[in-house]
Structure 1
């Protein structure tokens, strides 16, 4: 019993054998570390690490601060926030020029580096953007970190491109200018350049209002040149542009353009213009030119066809000018509508023999008949009763020699030499519209004055503007000037009605059911290329209804090659445009009959 206990306590081996091993060595004692020493070692390590950080901070913020600040600044760049350009509308609010959402597509040649990558990206972009693949490959070859591929892409197309997830291809929010009518009022509206500024027409004249004010923000880019999201800070918020409302009627503009373009083509002419005015307000309802400028492809058009020929091209007005001679003669009291003239088919003026448009025996024409039959000789005889100075002053009062006042780009004043400088033959030719020059708008304004009872109203083409805040500001009232007396205007109107009758030169301008007053014009055309008179200018201008005028229409065709008389070339254009405009404006016939006008003595 005692042996068993001893064995359990420390003895190993067999208790009965009498032999055994010595007791095992006692286990090692665990000694606890010194806490103070551990803390000291930890603090030393932390101090070492922090000293490294501190040294680096001193280097970054002290010694090398300017270097790193400059590098950081290089990654922050300003970015324009484009303003939305305002619209140009017709008098009824139909948009003639408007701004649509667009996207700019660009590539980063520094990211798209391998030939295989560039070929794949260029192939895809060329197909989506409808541009030559070589053009896009050239952008990669140009190097740098940013190359614009397309400035104004439809958002749907841009999204298809971005959905391909090409590295190194990006897009930016932009706007693009659109002209729904294509060439509708093209030279009048004008166009904008790649930078969004107006380059011609009303886009140029009203550029400041339409453009608004671009904004700006700062953005940060990464080392690869890509913009870092959520890093933009706005410096200036963009202000959208205002809009311009015109007096132009879209439908009448379309009809005028079609009529003049068709006739220019039919007679093989060089150019043509058609204008429609409101007889009472002077508002321009249409201003058409042929050829007209396609605003969606203006880059493909020669610069000489960018101009608005209705206000820039000057020409000798020919017989349409005879109404001014008639006004001077009637206002002076030298003649009246029934004054009789013995008219031959030619007359000598200084060293020149001037002729009527066709040979005829001596005719005894009333002054009304002189105007109605468009006799050059009869007009000269009347002008001689007036005198050069009074005729010159009447031309000035009708606006010759001064700009019409619309404010359109390139608006010309024409040419009106001082009467004291007129040559011997010019003293006669000015009476029937040669030796002076005008624009199409100036000629239309003369007939607006007669149609308006002798009061000239400055032509207006802008009805008003709308600012960025949305408030509409009407244009200032047009200037009004009494040029001739109301009775004189009525007498001339009667003569012009006779000119559209069967006995007049403008019978092709007659409109069934309406009383029409108008005048033909056929003038020799001065051409700088041939350094003299080459070809003709054919014109017709008039108004309706003659007894209660509402609309004035002018048609002028330059250098026609199949016919040249105003009565056969321009009068049909007048008829088409006036007929459409009367219907469009819902102007009914007055139902009255024209007064009898004596053309020849004894009638």
Structure 2
């Protein structure tokens, strides 16, 4: 055994341990030489011992939450691995130091464990017996244990506070870690008493029991080699990894207490480090009770399922009928089956307006790829008669799924387009209104809009009769609009419209329209009108306007051409109105055709002077001659004998101021002020047709009444209709009203025949071989746009044959620029139309000659 001291026989945990060779702890090295040997009986100090308690050094208790002894190994590892531990301690303590020569031991640098190696085996085993006794006795030690460790292996690196005592060479009192060797005093530390040893042994025993499970693992780790460098995990403390600090005296603060090689006194002690913080216990996630989670989940599921169950009960039980109806409405779609519109025919059955089958071509722009749009636009534009740019713009509107390309497309063209396989192109079956005669009676017939409703003329006035009643079909369709096979359907058959047969004769209409059109162009007039009427029935045979509406291109025509001027335009009739004054005077027996008047060329009426139709000297005229030469002054003289009231009543009886019946579209009533409101001059001007307003249809009706022997018949434009079986049903005859006596009517007719004679103003209306009666008219024209009189209205109206009247023809030229007299502009139109109508109707001449009459006074 070496004198420098080493381990005792036991770990040096109490006074009962052997430790006669210097105690269980390593001798503390001093600068003077080797450390003193520990005293026998446990002069070393265990880890739990310390200096005596004092105010400067209060007693320490065990660290909270840590092992009282903090032993890294159990009793088996301690007993079996003593020798290995000594060698490891030696390596750990000398790690990082330069190699030592053998002479170092004499200078107090002896290695730890040398005492154990030089100690007999029985001394070493004695310490093991002491440990076993401590474990068996089960006493609870008050210190931290007396196992001796090398200072370099202490976990806290707190200088000389090892687990054994260290003697100091300079004789200083031990600071609770051992006894002084020179005076033999008892250890003042806790490990110097027997009772303290007992308590120490109990503490060791309790610690070993708690750390029994990990001792073998740590020992096994060390036996297997431990960490690189020979470090012993059992001997490393919490601050093992802290690097060593050098004090000014050459003492390591972390690797153990060591004096300098030439120092005389003890090395200075560094500041005491606080004990390491206890390791935090691992976080333990405490899970709730599984039963509670399951119960909560079941409650939630029950709540959700109850909501679904309630909703199902509501939908399938309470509201089942509502949802069933809603589902049916989604599947069922109502398709309108368009009824075929009835046709409009002339009196002989010739079609003036007819309905044919057509297609409505549309496309879904969203389904047309961009790459083929240009090609598709070119094909569609060429076939539909539209510009390629217009079609391309419609194909580019991808914000909608429906884009109408064209209506009224011929079925052959639509089939050709469908064969071109243009994506999303569809053709719907529709009907197209076709007008074979073009502009023939255009404004009278009217036209049909895009929605299938009449917008003018007969198309509008007889729309309900012509349109019929559309049918419908309820079918079930899918998402793509295709009909679902084998599903129920409800179909209501459409009722086609009825055909309307007019009183218009297509041929006479053409002749009238041609004649007035030419005269309007020649005279530079604004417009012209021709009406041909059957005397015996008052049926309108022709009703022509110039310019006429082209029904094939009505969308581009001006709005003024939509109006049927023959029935809607109101104008002052002028001299053609003198027949009513003559009828009132003759009917009142105030005058006769042979009554002579001294007629000047002007006459004062109230505050105005009215002039005759032409300047002349005072002249004696019969009333027949005044009518033939259209004398305004002679007419005023005859009207004064009648009076304003009777004249007004006669005008009313002939239809002035009231709308003519018979279903003529756009017919107006004209303007007939009450005689009580007539001005002073108006009492005179009304007699020759100024101050009242009529339509061409009204004036034609006046002459029809004279030609018909004084019986007025409401003008008729509709001859009849065809029922659903195709059978023709004639229209009821117009209302008949006697206005004047037959004698009066014949006398007036003879007076009108004189107006077309050699001395009359209507010579240009004469027709060879036929007796013609008629009257010219020239009136100042009131321009509503200007708000004053401007221009003239030239007119002529008559009938033929005069002795057996069959037809009445009226021609009116509005605001002509080349001439303005009715005998010059309107009479020739009358002649052309009457001649054609007579031949068309195959009306033969009567063969009789006009009876001689007295034209001038004195004859």
Q: Could you tell me the TM-score, scaled by structure 2's length?
A: 0.61
Asked whether the equivalents of residues 449 and 483 of structure 1 are also in contact (C-alpha less than 8 Å), the reply is yes
Structure of greater relative contact order (alpha carbons < 8 Å, 6+ residues apart): 1
- The Cα offsets for residues 518-562 of structure 1, whole Å up to 9 and x where unpaired, read as 000000000022221100000000000001100000000100000
Which of residues 102, 124, 145 is equivalent to 2:379?
A: 124
For residues 660 and 428 of structure 2, what CA distance do their matches in structure 1 show?
44
Extract unaligned runs of 5+ from structure 2: 1-311
The list of structure 1 runs, each at least 4 consecutive aligned residues, that deviate by more than 4 angstroms after superposition, is 61-76, 219-232
Asked whether the equivalents of residues 476 and 489 of structure 2 are also in contact (C-alpha less than 8 Å), the reply is no
Equivalent position SS for 1:570: helix
Q: Could you tell me the TM-score, scaled by structure 1's length?
A: 0.87
Which of residues 590, 594, 602 is equivalent to 2:850?
A: 594
Does residue 431 (structure 1) correspond to residue 687 (structure 2)? The answer is yes
Asked whether the equivalents of residues 209 and 467 of structure 1 are also in contact (C-alpha less than 8 Å), the reply is no
Equivalent position SS for 2:799: strand
Question: What's the CA shift for 1:469?
Answer: 3.3
- Counterparts of 1:504-543 in structure 2, within 5 Å, are 504-543=760-799
Asked whether the equivalents of residues 517 and 542 of structure 1 are also in contact (C-alpha less than 8 Å), the reply is yes
Asked whether the equivalents of residues 217 and 232 of structure 1 are also in contact (C-alpha less than 8 Å), the reply is no
> What is the match of residue 499 of structure 1?
755
- Counterparts of 1:550-565 in structure 2, within 5 Å, are 550-565=806-821
- Counterparts of 1:68-217 in structure 2, within 5 Å, are 74=330, 76-112=332-368, 114-140=369-395, 141-217=397-473
For residues 334 and 88 of structure 1, what CA distance do their matches in structure 2 show?
49
For residues 544 and 772 of structure 2, what CA distance do their matches in structure 1 show?
22
Does residue 395 (structure 1) correspond to residue 651 (structure 2)? The answer is yes
> What is the match of residue 268 of structure 2?
none
Asked whether the equivalents of residues 337 and 368 of structure 1 are also in contact (C-alpha less than 8 Å), the reply is yes
> What is the match of residue 541 of structure 2?
285
For residues 484 and 441 of structure 1, what CA distance do their matches in structure 2 show?
19
Question: What's the CA shift for 1:334?
Answer: 1.0
- The Cα offsets for residues 321-371 of structure 1, whole Å up to 9 and x where unpaired, read as 000110011111111111110111111111111111211111111110010
Extract unaligned runs of 5+ from structure 1: 1-57
Asked whether the equivalents of residues 537 and 733 of structure 2 are also in contact (C-alpha less than 8 Å), the reply is no
Q: Cα distance 1:555–1:425, how it changes in 2: closer, same or farther (>3 A)?
A: same
Does residue 233 (structure 1) correspond to residue 467 (structure 2)? The answer is no
Higher-Rg member (1/2):
2
- The Cα offsets for residues 297-324 of structure 1, whole Å up to 9 and x where unpaired, read as 1111122220111111111100000001
> What is the match of residue 361 of structure 1?
617
- The Cα offsets for residues 177-216 of structure 1, whole Å up to 9 and x where unpaired, read as 0011111111111111101111111111111111111122
Question: What's the CA shift for 1:422?
Answer: 1.1
For residues 478 and 406 of structure 1, what CA distance do their matches in structure 2 show?
6
Number of aligned residue pairs: 544
Does residue 488 (structure 1) correspond to residue 748 (structure 2)? The answer is no
For residues 549 and 223 of structure 1, what CA distance do their matches in structure 2 show?
71
Question: What's the CA shift for 1:219?
Answer: 4.5
Asked whether the equivalents of residues 111 and 224 of structure 1 are also in contact (C-alpha less than 8 Å), the reply is no
Equivalent position SS for 1:320: helix
- The Cα offsets for residues 361-386 of structure 1, whole Å up to 9 and x where unpaired, read as 11111110010000000111111111
For residues 486 and 688 of structure 2, what CA distance do their matches in structure 1 show?
74
- The Cα offsets for residues 265-292 of structure 1, whole Å up to 9 and x where unpaired, read as 1100001110000011111000111111
When structure 1 is superposed on structure 2, of 513-522 and 473-482 the one drifting more is 473-482
Question: What's the CA shift for 1:131?
Answer: 1.1
For residues 634 and 355 of structure 2, what CA distance do their matches in structure 1 show?
56
Question: What's the CA shift for 1:227?
Answer: 5.9
Asked whether the equivalents of residues 85 and 241 of structure 1 are also in contact (C-alpha less than 8 Å), the reply is yes
**CA RMSD in angstroms, aligned pairs only:** 2.1
More strand by share: 1
Q: Cα distance 1:245–1:69, how it changes in 2: closer, same or farther (>3 A)?
A: closer
Q: Cα distance 1:555–1:142, how it changes in 2: closer, same or farther (>3 A)?
A: farther
Question: What's the CA shift for 1:109?
Answer: 2.5
> What is the match of residue 97 of structure 2?
none
Equivalent position SS for 2:571: coil
